[in-house]
Amino acid sequence: MEKRKRIKNFSFVVLASFLFYLSFPNVFTPYGFSFLAWLSLIPFLHVLEKSSLVNRFLYSVCFGLISYGLLVRWVIDVSGAGYILFVSVLCVQSIIFGCLYPRRCGPIFLKALYLGCLWVMSEFFREFLMGGFTWGFGLSQSFHPMIIQFADITGVKGLSFALVCVNVCLYGAIKQKEQRRSSFLGVFLIFLGIFSYSHGVFNISDLQSEGRKYLRVCSIQPNFSPENKHNPNFFDKNLDQQIKLSYECLDQTPLDLLIWPETSLVDDIIQDDITFYKIETMLRLIKTPMVLGTVLGEDEHYYNSALFVDERGDVKKRYDKQKLIPFAEYNPTAIFKNMLYKKDYEFQSGLKDERTRLGNITFNVAICSEDFYPRLWRRMSQPPLDLMIVLLNDGWFQSDEGMFMHLQSSILQAVTFKTSVLRSSNNGVTTFIDPFGVLSASSKNGFDVNQEKVFSYFVETNKSNSFYAQFGDIFAMFCSLFVIIILLIDSRCLGNDRHLPFLTSRE
């Protein structure tokens, strides 16, 4: 009987894991079935309810390995060791949530509040372990601007909180008939609050037209394969192709700024006189400054860098990527180096930001995975920016789902910091995102991924400062403090037959 029950419970965990995975970009659609996020945890909650601590741990490990293992399976194309490490650390969140789940809970509002805060605390702790890298449940809602606007107060963790609260309320409505009315009322109030806030934000934005600035930008998407990009025999051909695409930009509209994506040139253009001369000649002809991604060498170290070069061909600013990807851009351990890290190069981390002024517009540059680091963006966006440019490669993705998960993070950062974001990719998703998470009109009918193309944007910027940009993770800290206080009130909550009296109904 016990064995049959355990098999049934693991079946529920597998179901919850697949629903969780499907709510993000997945093998069926790069946009994901985001509505599933609002009910995906119900089978998981059902299993955790009244399970022992040991079983909760096992179910949580199973949930984490399956859901996160499926979500980031595209990392295998980059590094098998990196994939194992990545999934293992992501699982920390589900383990914390499962182990601290109270076995018996009473009033649905208090239960939803506690579990919502517990999920936020678990994501917050995982973010600390990953050096600031943020992967939140709330990212699943990135393609719905009317839902995500309050992220400018709470960050992505506020969206995760809302998702968990709705899941808890729906589970309560299914499980306990006497609390059905309260559960549905809780769901209604959550959505009412979300849409009311979003409606207000959009209305205010319509009224605040003063102070907006405009920039004509063109980004090239050369669509290089990883093999050709790093093959010295293709360096000259790749450069000529990008120069050709740059001239095509000028055929579409006059320009204020030209952008080439991350590591568009993998040889050091500052030390390569011939390459730099070709770029300088092009800029003098088109009379347009540019931002380009390149690899730079210095004192036997290599950097994943971005350069701002003016219309005369003079290098004005340099930014070196600060948040590198383990096992893909550097080896985090000297142990088994040849086994775990097989790249011919190893990047060094940059040490500072480089804010750039172009006319009356100020912008900063982030490179690739740095749009998963809200703390880095917060530092970069103070004082407020007009525009954030994200240079991407995405050439190592073998599926669209990885590219679109990356896009989700850029959307959330735009909303969180109320900053316009322009993404320039080698072959991924090149697009412009306004401060409300709305994608450019050219993106409405889909994205031209894995294609050689140029993208012209009439970028509208409006320098603003969000609550999150000023105060950071206040909401996550409040949730963590709330959970810790509850646990201190009754430290017995971790026992196999104990429960939180604060959350338990009186009999």
Q: Which residues contact 212 (CB under 8 A, 6 or more apart)?
A: 460, 461, 462
Q: Which residues contact 192 (CB under 8 A, 6 or more apart)?
A: none
Least confident of 95-99, 250-254, 292-296, 468-472: 250-254
With 70 as the cut, is the pLDDT of residue 201 above it? no
d(CA 430, CA 221): 7
- Structure-token pair, residue 408: 């989700």
Q: Where are the domains of the chain?
A: 2-206+473-503, 213-469
What pLDDT is stored for residue 452 in this prediction? 85
CA dihedral 247, 253, 257, 262 (to 10 degrees): -60
More confident residue, 184 or 424: 424
> DSSP characters for 428-485?
S--EEE-TTSPBPGGGTT---TTS-EEEEEEEEE-----HHHHH-SHHHHHHHHHHHH
d(CA 217, CA 37): 36
What pLDDT is stored for residue 47 in this prediction? 92
More confident residue, 421 or 214: 421
| Residue 497 banded pLDDT, cuts 50, 70, 90 | very low
CB 391 within 8 A of CB 293: yes
With 90 as the cut, is the pLDDT of residue 164 above it? yes
Tens-place pLDDT, residues 57-82: 999 999 999 999 999 888 887 777 77
Tell me what the mean pLDDT of segment 405-414 comes to. 92
Question: In terms of Cα–Cα distance, which of 187, 159, 160, 189 is closest to 171?
Answer: 187
Tell me what the mean pLDDT of segment 238-256 comes to. 84
Specify the pTM: 0.89
Kindly state the DSSP code that residue 144 receives in the 8-state scheme. Answer: -
C-alpha Rg value of the chain to the nearest Å = 24
With 80 as the cut, is the pLDDT of residue 183 above it? no
What pLDDT is stored for residue 50 in this prediction? 78
With 60 as the cut, is the pLDDT of residue 382 above it? yes
With 50 as the cut, is the pLDDT of residue 444 above it? no
What pLDDT is stored for residue 178 in this prediction? 62
Q: pLDDT > 90: what percent of the chain?
A: 29
More confident residue, 324 or 25: 25
More confident residue, 383 or 116: 116
Tens-place pLDDT, residues 301-323: 888 889 999 889 888 888 988 88
The amino acid present at 394, given as its one-letter code, is: D
Tens-place pLDDT, residues 207-235: 455 567 788 899 999 888 877 777 778 88
Tens-place pLDDT, residues 141-156: 999 988 888 898 999 9
According to CATH, the topology of domain 213-469 is Nitrilase/N-carbamoyl-D-aminoacid amidohydrolase (3.60.110)
